[in-house]
Amino acid sequence: MKLERLKRLTEIPGISGFEEKVSEYISEEIKGKVDDSWIDNMGNLIALKKGVNGSNQKLLLMAHMDEVGLIVKRINDDGSLAFYTVGGVDPRVLIGKKIYIGNDMLPGVIGFEAIHLQERSRVLKTPDLKQLSVYAGFSKKDEAKKSVKVGDPIFFSTEYMQVDGRAIGKAFDDRTGCEVLLSVLEDLCDYPVNYDVYFAWVVQEEVGLRGSGVAARQVKPDASIIFEGTTAGDNPELPEPRWSTRIGQGPVLTYAHSGLVLDRRIFETILETARSNRIPFQFKSRVVGGTDAARIARTTSGFRAGVIATPSRYIHSPVSMIDIGDFENTVLLAKTLVREGKVLEK
């Protein structure tokens, strides 16, 4: 099955603070399907699909639009660009990667000293970010300044592709979640429910969970579900106790993570829904890392939430991998939860 919209979503550039193109695309996709939508001061895109009988209950579904990336911090005398990371990015995954710079999508490459020129003692050491530079065809600082400025975003240049039931691309964290929300919205057009469903595509999750609290405060939901992309870790070179999840084993149900033990009622409802509908699932076996659920739990008086994720290998890198079956089962679980509405039961 070719996931054309997921392909488009992953290929759109949208690091934290520069999510506008993702928001514009989703805004077009939801036209005519929602009863109301708006973009708030943070840049969150929020939409409402009203229930059919005027119930005052509200379910919030949330995913973040931003991806990890880089940002220009200095233009060097030789025309190369120094940069900071935006979100958690290991310098080792950057060497030799193709990128785009700024809104004009200027192509470039991340360069590093060739192995022939390195001292033997340095070959296996992780480079410092200050040892890496972006080269975009300039030979002088003044030349580069005509096209690039400090503060410009740097996006990974990765084309989406599918191979033998797997999808390879960038930004599965969290464009998979963005697509889950779009799929649920389409399902609601055919199978309406008797309560209000809010959708929040939020910003700046990767730099501190910044947009979600702002969105939740506007909606004030009775319950919420966060849809995420999470690390797999089932790499052959890693010992199994370090595996957080495995691709090919189904959606990931999270009972706790850094900063939050998830609402037990919602967690049990998600678990029972998966079991009763024979949807494969797995538990996240490590609690490192956090999600927007932690932010909305400490917003105003707190909002209870559950977390469901699509597992991804090589997450937070220019090239990651998901199992298409995992993703499709995440969509199925999301649709089933919304149709049944049990997460709203007290």
> Annotated catalytic sites, by residue?
205
Sheet hosting strand 282-283, strand order edge to edge:
36-39, 45-49, 196-202, 58-64, 223-231, 305-312, 252-253, 282-283
Do 320 and 312 contact (CB within 8 A), yes or no? Answer: yes
Question: Facing residues of 162 across strands?
Answer: 167
Give the three-state DSSP class for 96: coil
116 contacts: CB under 8 Å, gap ≥ 6: none
Q: Which of 61, 65, 344, 272 is nearest to 184 (CA)?
A: 61
Q: Residue 275: in which H helix or E strand, if any? A: helix 264-276
Q: How far apart are CA 222 and CA 36, in angstroms?
A: 19
User: Any idea which residue has 């960038």 for tokens?
Assistant: 170
Considering only CA atoms, which of 188, 231, 167 is closest in space to residue 5? 167
**Is 73 in contact with 55 (CB distance < 8 Å)?**
no
Cα 73 from Cα 54, distance rounded (Å): 51
Backbone angles phi, psi at 270, to 5 degrees: -60, -45
What's the start-to-end Cα distance of the chain, in Å?
A: 38
User: Helix (H, G, I), strand (E, B), or coil: what is residue 167?
Assistant: strand
